[in-house]
Structure 1
Amino acid sequence: MMSSKLIDIAASNDQSKPYCKPLFESLNSVGVLRLSYQQWFAESNYNQTDVSSFIRFLDSLRVLEKKILYEIVGSPSFSVLIQLYTEVIENHSCFWSGLVSSSDEYLLFSFWSLIKAVKKLHSYFPEEVQVVLEESKNINKITLHGDPEKSLLWAYEGHPSLPVSAELYHKQQEFLQLCSTDDEDYVAAVQLDEIYQTCLGRLKLEKKRLEDRMGSSEIDNIKNKSAVCCVLRPEIVATGFGFNSWVKISLIASSESSSLDVELLDVLQNLLVAQSTEQKDLVDIRELLKPALEYSLSTTRPPQTLVAHQKLLWAIDARASVLGVDTKIAGFVLEMWYWWHSVLWKNSQIGLMSLQSISEIGNCWILSPSMLIQPVKTATVDQILENAFPVKDYPVQSMKLLSASRLLWKSSQPCQEMHGSLLSIARSLFQQMIYTHQKSFEPEIFEAIKSAFHAIEKKQNKMEGIQFLISQIGSSSHQKLKSVTHSYVSPLAIYLYSECSSNEFYPNLGLAWIYLGGLRFHLLNGFDVIDPAMKIICKLLELEEKISSLELKIKVRGECEYLSGLLYTENNEERTAHKLSKLKAEHKRLQRKVTFRSDTKKYQDLRRALDEFAGFITRPISLINSVKVLDWNQVVEQVLD
C-alpha cells in the first residue's frame, strides 16, 4: 500500500491531486518516524541511572524532534527539513550508542556531530534549539565541554604516513628489522661504492671547472684571480688561527643571508595577502629568490635550511601557480619562516659569544639573537681590527681582512632597514590570518575589514580605523577568533598601526611580534579536538552502519515485492540505490585516511604539551602588562624563570 507509484497514478486525477503532495511527504517521512520511535523506545526502556546526567538534555532533544515531526509534512521547506531532521535523528542514535557503550572518544565525536546538526535547525525552531544547546552546557561530563571548531589556518588536514592497520604496522616492523640485520660484507661494499661515486663526482666537477677556466676570457681570469685572492684557502683554515678567522668572517655572510631572507619574506608575505594572480609577480620574486639562494649556499648556512627556497624556485619555474599564489607556495613560505627563525637563534650560540650574543642585564646573562638585534658586520670588522696577533700570523690576518672586505663589498644594501621590514612582515602576517577567516564573516563585514586595513595603512583616521577594525573582527562566527579578539587582536592592532615616538617604536615592534605569535598559536591549536585517527574510525563506523541498514532494506524490499508479484521498480528503490552508492564512495574515500597509532597515548601527550606551551605564551603577556609596576630585578627574575 505504501507505494509512490500509486501516488503518481492518483496525481493524474484532478480531484485527488491536492492530496498527493502531503501524502508523498508523509511517505518520505516514514523512515525517520520509525527511527525516531525506535530511539525514544530504547531510551525509555534503558536503566536511566547510568545516564542520569544526560536525561534533561535527551528530553529537550526529544521535544525538538517531536516539534519537527508535527510540522514537517506540509511545510514549505519540507525538502530541507527532512534532510536536516534525518541528520539529527541519525546523530542522536549514534550519540546514544556511544553513551551506552561507554566509549569516551566515540561519545565525544557523536556528541559534537549531534550539536552541529541541531544548530542547523536554529532558523526554523529557534526556541527548541536554544533549549537543547543550553541543556548541552549543563551536562555534568567535562570531556564533552570544548570547542570542536577546526582551525581555519590549516590549509590541509593531514596525518603522518602511517600504516592503516595493526597487522600492516607489525609487518613493517618485521621488514625494518630484517633490513637492519648486520651484513658486514654488504655494508662494506655499499660504503666503498659511495666513496667511489663521491670521488668520481669530484673528479668530474674539477674537470669541468678546469675546462671553464681554459675557455674563459682574460677579463674573467682576472676577475677569478681577484676573487680567489680574497678567499681563505684550505691550508689556512686547517690551522687554529686560520679556522678562528674563518669562523669570524663567516658571520658577515650569515648576517647578509639573514637580511636577504627578511627582504624576500617581506615581498612574499605581501604577495600572499594580496592573493595576486599575476605571473609577473612570481617572476619578480624569482629575481630576488635566485641570487639570495645562491649567496646563502656559499655561506656556512646548513643546506637543509634552504630547501624551502629551492622548492619555491622550482614551483615558480614550473609555473605551478599560473592562476595565482596557491596553498603549496604558502606552505613553502611557512617553511622558510621556520628555518629563518631557527638559524637566527642557532647562530647566536655558534661563534657569536664575543659579539654580545649574550647580554648582561643586572647580574644575569640572557641569550639574544645577534643576527637580528646586533650590528654583526660592524662588530666583526671592529673585532678583526682590534685583535692582537703574533707576527708569524700576519699573512693569515691580511687574508682575513681581504676576505672580510670582499664579503662586505658583495653585501647588498637592503631596500629598507631591518626594523621596517619586520614591521611590514608583521602587518602582512596579521592581515593574512584575518583574511584566512573570510568565511566566518558576513560578506559586507569582510569587505569592511579589508577597507579598514587599507584606510589604516593610508593613515586615514588611524585610531578610529583601528577601533572599527577590532570591532569588525570581533563579529566573526569563528568562536576561537572571537574569544581572542580582546586579549590578542586588540593589542596587536594597536601596536602595529598606532602612531608612536621613535623611543616607543622598537618596544612596540617587539610587543607586536609577541602578540602575533600568541594569536597564531591560539588560532592553530584546538585543545579539545579528539585524535584525528579515532575521528576517522568513528566516521567509518557510522557509514558502515548506514550501508548495512540500506543493504538490508533493499534486500527485504526486493523479497517483499517478489512475494507480492510486483513487476516494476519503484523510484524509492532508485533513490535508495543512489544513496547507497554515495555512502560506499564516501566510505572508500575515508578508508584511505585510516591510520594505525601504535601508541594511543601519544596524541594525549601532545595535547598536554600544547596546554603547557600555552602557559609559556601567557606568561610573557602577563609580564608585559605588569612591567611598568615591577622593579627591574623582578622583571629579569621572571624572564629567567
Structure 2
Amino acid sequence: TVLAQLDEIHKSLVRKVEYERNNLGLLLKTSNAEVKVCCSVSSDILCNTCGFNGWLASLPLLNLKSLNLDTALLQCLSKWIQIDSSQIRQSIANSEALLTYAIDYSLELSSRSPSEFTQHKIVWWIHHNWDTVENVDAKFASSLLEIWYNYHKSLWTYCSGSPKALFPLTHDETSDLAHLTKMDAINTIIRGDLCVMDYQKNSLMLRMSSRSLWEGVSYAGNLVGGLYSAADSLFKQIIFAHKKHFKPEEYSQLEHILFQQSEHHLEDKCLHTACALLSSSSHAVLASFSGSNKLIGSLLLELYSSYSRDSLLHLGAAWVYIGMLRFQLLLSSYNPDPAFLSAFMHSQILEKISLLDLKGKVRHECEELTGSNLAGDCHDQKLMQELKTEEKNLRSKVVFRPRQSKHKSLIAACCEFEGRLSDCKDLVSHLNCNGAGQLEVNRICNWQITSRNFIKRLTEEYGEYVDLIQPAQVAVYEMKLGLTIALSGSLEREYLKKVKEDDIEKVLV
C-alpha cells in the first residue's frame, strides 16, 4: 500500500541521517588534519546523472581553483629571469610539485581545455630532459609566455561578468569585469532548493563548496602579494630583455637597485636614480618612457614606493603600466617584420655555408692534384660547425608569412589601438583621484569591450602572425587585469570610507 511505501521511505531516510550523523561525530573527534576528509568526494559519484549535474554546478569553483594554482605557479616560474641562467633548472625543480598538481587537478576536475596545459607539460619535459634540450632558455621563456597567455584568456573566460549589483549599467554583460566567482557559485549552491530526490547532487555540491572554502584559506592574503610579486618579475624581465641597450656599468648599477633589493621598497633617491639609468638606454623607445614623470617613472612608484604595498589600486595601476610598456616596446620591434629579418639572415648563413663547402671541395681537389696538404682545413671545419649551429638557431625563427600587405595591416591595427592606451592611463588616474562613480565604471566597461574586440580581431584576422600577436595580446590582457584590479581597489576604498574603517581586514574578520 501507499502508507507502507511511505513508511519504508521514511525509515531509509532516518537510517541515512543517522549514518551521516555518526560519520560527522567521528570526524569531530579526529585531528584537524583529518577534518578535511568530510569535504572529500569520490569520483564514483560522477557516474550517475545527479552526481554529474552536481559537478557541473560546482565547475566555477573548480575552474577558480585551477586558475589559483596557475597564479601560484606563474609567480614561482616568473622569478627565473632574476637569477643566473644556470639556476633556472633548480627554480623549475622547486616548482615541480606545484606544476604536477596544477596539471593533474586542472585536467581531471576543471572544464578548461586540455590544450591550455600543453606548455605546462613542455616545462615539465624541459626540466626532465634539460641536458638534451637545445636553446633551453629560449624554449622555457616561450612556454612561460604562452602559459601567461592561456592564464589571462581563461581568467576572462571563466571569471567575468558585469558589476550589476553595484551599478545599473546601460549596456549588456559583455563589459567583462571580473567578479567574485567563488561567492557567486557558493551562493547559488547554498540558496538553491534542496530536494530529497537530489540528495547525491546536493551532497556533492555542498562538499565541493566546503572543500573550496577550506582550501581557499591558504590563498587568503596571498593573492595581492602574489600579483605584486608577478608584476615585479614581469617588469624586471622587460629590463633584462633590453640589457644589451645599456652600458655595462650602468646596467650593473640598475641591477643593484632593482634586482638585489631585500624588500619590494625603494627610497625616492633610488627611484630617481633608476629612472635616470633607464633613460640612458640606447633603446630609443625605452629611454623615451623612462623619465620620472613618464610611464616607467609611474610604474616604479606603483611597484616600489612605500605607500603602494598591499593596495589594490596601486597594484592595478602597476599591471596597467606594465601592459602599456610591453605593448609599445613590442610594437616598436615589429616593423620591419622580425621574421623577414630572420629569413634574410638565414639565407646569408646558408650562402656562407655553401661557399665554405665549395671552398673545401676545391681545396681537396687541389690537394689530390699536388699531393700535399694545404693549411686552413682545421680552421674551416671549426667555422663550418659554428655556421651550422647558427643556421639551426635561425631556422627555428623562420616562419611562413603571407603577403607583405598583411603585415602592414597588422601594424596599422596595433597603432590604432596604441592610440587608446592613453584612455586606459587616464581611467587609472581618475580612479585614484575621483573614485569609481557611474561615469568611470561605464568608461572602464567600454574600454574592456574595446580591448576584448581588439584581442579577438588579432586572433581572427592575423592568425599567421601568432608569434607577433600573442605577446601583444598578453600585454593587452595585462592592462585589462590591471584596470579591473584598480576598479576593485577604488570600490574598496569607497566602501571603507562609508563604514569608517581604514583596513579591509578588520571588515572581513
What is the TM-score when the length of structure 2 is the normalising length? Answer: 0.63
Equivalent residue, structure 2, for 1:523: 329
Is it true that 1:496 corresponds to 2:496 in the alignment?
no
Secondary structure of 1:499 counterpart = coil
**Which residues of 2 match residues 5-404 of structure 1 at below 5 A?**
229=42, 232-237=45-50, 243=53, 245-278=54-87, 279-300=89-110, 301-320=112-131, 326-348=137-159, 360-364=166-170, 367-368=175-176, 370=178, 374=180, 376-404=181-209
The answer on whether the counterparts of 1:261 and 1:340 sit within 8 Å (CA) in structure 2 is yes
Is it true that 1:440 corresponds to 2:440 in the alignment?
no
Cα distance in 2 for partners of 1:399, 1:620 equals: 43
Paired residue type of 2:167 = I
Deviation string, structure 1 residues 232-280 (Cα, Å, up to 9, x no partner): 4233258xxx63x323312222111111111111111112221352344
The answer on whether the counterparts of 2:77 and 2:92 sit within 8 Å (CA) in structure 1 is no
Paired residue type of 1:246 = W
Cα distance in 1 for partners of 2:314, 2:425 equals: 13
Secondary structure of 2:329 counterpart = helix
Secondary structure of 2:86 counterpart = coil
Equivalent residue, structure 2, for 1:484: 289
Paired residue type of 1:604 = K
Cα distance in 2 for partners of 1:602, 1:385 equals: 52
After superposition, the Cα gap between the structure-2 partners of 1:388 and 1:477, relative to the gap in structure 1 and judged at 3 Å, is same
Following TM superposition, by how much is the alpha carbon of 1:493 offset from its aligned partner in structure 2, in angstroms? 0.5
Higher alpha-carbon deviation: 428-437 or 414-423: 414-423
After superposition, the Cα gap between the structure-2 partners of 1:430 and 1:631, relative to the gap in structure 1 and judged at 3 Å, is closer
Cα distance in 1 for partners of 2:430, 2:138 equals: 40
Following TM superposition, by how much is the alpha carbon of 1:470 offset from its aligned partner in structure 2, in angstroms? 1.1
Paired residue type of 1:441 = F
Q: 2:406 aligns with which of 587, 597, 602?
A: 602
Deviation string, structure 1 residues 497-526 (Cα, Å, up to 9, x no partner): 112278x81110001000000111111222
Cα distance in 1 for partners of 2:261, 2:399 equals: 47
Equivalent residue, structure 2, for 1:63: none
Paired residue type of 1:296 = S
Secondary structure of 2:204 counterpart = helix
Deviation string, structure 1 residues 176-197 (Cα, Å, up to 9, x no partner): xxxxxxxxxxxxxxxxxxxxxx
Following TM superposition, by how much is the alpha carbon of 1:363 offset from its aligned partner in structure 2, in angstroms? 3.4
Paired residue type of 2:272 = Q
Paired residue type of 1:518 = M
**Which residues of 2 match residues 442-461 of structure 1 at below 5 A?**
442-454=247-259, 456-458=261-263
Secondary structure of 1:485 counterpart = coil
Cα distance in 1 for partners of 2:260, 2:340 equals: 46
Secondary structure of 2:410 counterpart = helix
Unmatched segments (≥5 aa) in structure 1: 1-222, 547-573
Secondary structure of 1:477 counterpart = coil
The answer on whether the counterparts of 1:308 and 1:332 sit within 8 Å (CA) in structure 2 is yes
Cα distance in 1 for partners of 2:137, 2:348 equals: 34
Deviation string, structure 1 residues 430-453 (Cα, Å, up to 9, x no partner): 111112211111111111111112
Paired residue type of 1:602 = K
**Which residues of 2 match residues 528-543 of structure 1 at below 5 A?**
529-532=335-338
**Which residues of 2 match residues 569-608 of structure 1 at below 5 A?**
597-608=401-412
Deviation string, structure 1 residues 113-168 (Cα, Å, up to 9, x no partner): xxxxxxxxxxxxxxxxxxxxxxxxxxxxxxxxxxxxxxxxxxxxxxxxxxxxxxxx
The answer on whether the counterparts of 1:476 and 1:482 sit within 8 Å (CA) in structure 2 is yes
The answer on whether the counterparts of 2:286 and 2:329 sit within 8 Å (CA) in structure 1 is yes
Following TM superposition, by how much is the alpha carbon of 1:361 offset from its aligned partner in structure 2, in angstroms? 2.9
Cα distance in 1 for partners of 2:265, 2:399 equals: 53
After superposition, the Cα gap between the structure-2 partners of 1:539 and 1:304, relative to the gap in structure 1 and judged at 3 Å, is closer
Q: Looking at CA atoms only, which structure, 1 or 2, has the larger radius of gyration?
A: 1
What is the TM-score when the length of structure 1 is the normalising length? Answer: 0.51
Secondary structure of 1:361 counterpart = coil
Cα distance in 1 for partners of 2:107, 2:119 equals: 13
Following TM superposition, by how much is the alpha carbon of 1:426 offset from its aligned partner in structure 2, in angstroms? 0.3
After superposition, the Cα gap between the structure-2 partners of 1:442 and 1:252, relative to the gap in structure 1 and judged at 3 Å, is same
Cα distance in 2 for partners of 1:435, 1:293 equals: 29
Secondary structure of 1:298 counterpart = helix
The answer on whether the counterparts of 2:235 and 2:322 sit within 8 Å (CA) in structure 1 is yes
Cα distance in 1 for partners of 2:124, 2:349 equals: 43
After superposition, the Cα gap between the structure-2 partners of 1:359 and 1:525, relative to the gap in structure 1 and judged at 3 Å, is farther
Cα distance in 2 for partners of 1:235, 1:327 equals: 47
Cα distance in 1 for partners of 2:184, 2:227 equals: 22
Cα distance in 1 for partners of 2:163, 2:439 equals: 22
Cα distance in 2 for partners of 1:253, 1:478 equals: 44
Q: 1:621 aligns with which of 418, 422, 425?
A: 425
Higher alpha-carbon deviation: 395-404 or 264-273: 395-404
After superposition, the Cα gap between the structure-2 partners of 1:424 and 1:542, relative to the gap in structure 1 and judged at 3 Å, is closer
Secondary structure of 1:500 counterpart = coil
Cα distance in 2 for partners of 1:363, 1:267 equals: 38
Paired residue type of 1:401 = L
Cα distance in 2 for partners of 1:411, 1:460 equals: 28
Following TM superposition, by how much is the alpha carbon of 1:357 offset from its aligned partner in structure 2, in angstroms? 6.5
Cα distance in 1 for partners of 2:398, 2:42 equals: 60
Equivalent residue, structure 2, for 1:220: none
Secondary structure of 2:202 counterpart = helix
Following TM superposition, by how much is the alpha carbon of 1:322 offset from its aligned partner in structure 2, in angstroms? 9.3
The answer on whether the counterparts of 1:266 and 1:425 sit within 8 Å (CA) in structure 2 is yes
Paired residue type of 2:86 = T
Paired residue type of 1:292 = A
Cα distance in 2 for partners of 1:455, 1:543 equals: 40
Q: What count of residue pairs does the alignment treat as equivalent? A: 385
Deviation string, structure 1 residues 522-564 (Cα, Å, up to 9, x no partner): 1122277234566578779999999xxxxxxxxxxxxxxxxxx
Kindly, what percent of the aligned residue pairs are identical? Answer: 26
Unmatched segments (≥5 aa) in structure 2: 1-35, 353-375, 448-509
The answer on whether the counterparts of 1:293 and 1:309 sit within 8 Å (CA) in structure 2 is yes
After superposition, the Cα gap between the structure-2 partners of 1:631 and 1:227, relative to the gap in structure 1 and judged at 3 Å, is closer
Cα distance in 2 for partners of 1:295, 1:538 equals: 45
Deviation string, structure 1 residues 618-638 (Cα, Å, up to 9, x no partner): 321133345536993432343
The answer on whether the counterparts of 1:273 and 1:428 sit within 8 Å (CA) in structure 2 is yes
The answer on whether the counterparts of 2:123 and 2:140 sit within 8 Å (CA) in structure 1 is yes
